[in-house]
Structure 1
């Protein structure tokens, strides 16, 4: 079987990928302008952009609006285990707090009446200047306090729903990722000992830096072990 001839965009992407992985193009370096690169490879600007989009989807470069395309710093991988992201000292988190009222899917997630007062914590983690993950955490206003939701111990049980999808335009912009890079979307609902929902978290983890670890505990039949 004869291998198909690689397309121009793949040939360009292969060349730039090789320059990045061998260190010829170092992390943080700004690539030449798109018209200049297109002229260098003797292709149209749209063809050049499709080649760059392949590298953006792999997490090798990032496009910063108004500045250009840059070789990405090697990113730490995020591990989601036991209902939470494992802590990483190299990441810092910016948090924006907003008061709002329950509407849409928040009503069913938190099991509250429409327009119930809520507090939203918008959390964006960074490694250096690069955004790393995005989370929106919703808590009933009467449970909100000076402590952040993940610092409290009121939650007794968490239910996690995990799916893979393409990011929304807002998510792609906030995380500075390509709209073609899949994200791991996690919806976590936490309840207390009475069954009341105390927190609903919507986490977005880019697939080029995320792992999810699930651990299953098997209950033993104590009666079967006795006698």
Structure 2
């Protein structure tokens, strides 16, 4: 049975999706909504938090809640990264770090192994659409790539295998700041690990995208069937 919070959220959601409440419109104040729906203010806040997490509204400190302008969805394609439209731009910064903690575990390298960290942010105009930190053992990064700060690829050789984990969660404080989103708005968090044919980790990528404006698409390819000698005519 729907709770009061869900009922209020659904009513406001319908008003937004049908155009009764338009992009940029300011919602009534929380006390006014509480009076209208005959509920407590905390219940209204819970309903608004749901809509914020869905990306339908945004809260501006000191001004109130506003209907958000819908963002164009972007697509993450498994093993290939983000599908970039012509008007999406990416800034990339590189730095040298040492393998520690969670990153060292992902890369399966000894403590303090030199790594190159690529910090990538994708923008649509002035709006950040995704953030990523990509770690590659320094000996696997070509010198030319370090000089140009181009998109990291490691060594994409035949036999490379990619393992990806996708999670919907709240953003870290750093992600919320970089993406300029509310800490209550969920993100699609993708951890991508690339291995070579010998099992060595080539790179580890940690990507975050606002989940209300992103899709993750994975395509499965059947293994190629090699013709054996006894298959030949």
Report the TM-score when normalising by structure 2: 0.76
* RMSD, aligned CA: 3.1
Per-residue CA distance 1:184-211 (angstroms, 9 max, x = gap): 3322223567765442111123433222
8 Å CA contact retained: 1:191, 1:198: yes
Contact persistence 1:184–1:204 (CA under 8 A): yes
Q: Equivalent residues in 2 for 1:180-219 (5 A)?
A: 181=186, 183-191=187-195, 197-208=201-212, 209-219=214-224
Equivalents in 2 of 1:16, 1:128: separation in Å? 29
Q: What are structure 2's unaligned runs of at least 5 residues?
A: none
Structure 2 contact 97–115 (Cα < 8 Å) conserved: yes
Deviation at 1:17, TM superposition (A): 1.3
Q: Which position in structure 2 is the counterpart of 1:62?
A: 58
- CA distance in structure 1 between the aligned counterparts of 2:167 and 2:31, rounded to whole angstroms: 34
Equivalent residue pairs, number: 222
Q: Match for 1:139 among 136, 140, 151?
A: 136
Q: 1:10 to 1:106 in 2, by over 3 A?
A: closer
The two structures have a TM-score, normalised by structure 1, of: 0.78
Contact kept, 8 Å, 1:172 with 1:179, in 2: the verdict is no
* Paired residue secondary structure (1:145): helix
| 2:83 is the counterpart of 1:86 | yes
Structure 1 residue corresponding to 2:111, chosen from 106, 111, 114 = 114
Specify whether residues 22 and 161 from structure 1 end up closer, same or farther in structure 2 by C-alpha distance, changes over 3 A only: same
TM-superposed CA distance for 1:36, in Å, is 4.3
The CA deviation at 1:102 is 1.1
Q: Which consecutive residues of structure 1, in runs of 5 or more, have no partner in the other structure?
A: none
Alignment CA distance shift 1:151-1:187 (3 Å): closer
1:162 maps to what in 2? 165
1:87-110 Cα offsets, whole Å, 9 max, x none, are: 223433344444321101222322
Alpha-carbon distance change, 12 to 193 in structure 1, aligned in 2, over 3 angstroms: closer
Give the alignment partner of residue 12 of structure 2, picking from 3, 13, 16: 16
In 2, Cα distance between the equivalents of 1:55 and 1:112?
42
Q: What's the secondary structure of 1:205's corresponding residue?
A: strand
Contact 1:124–1:131 (CA under 8 A) maintained in structure 2: yes
Matched, 1:127 2:124: yes
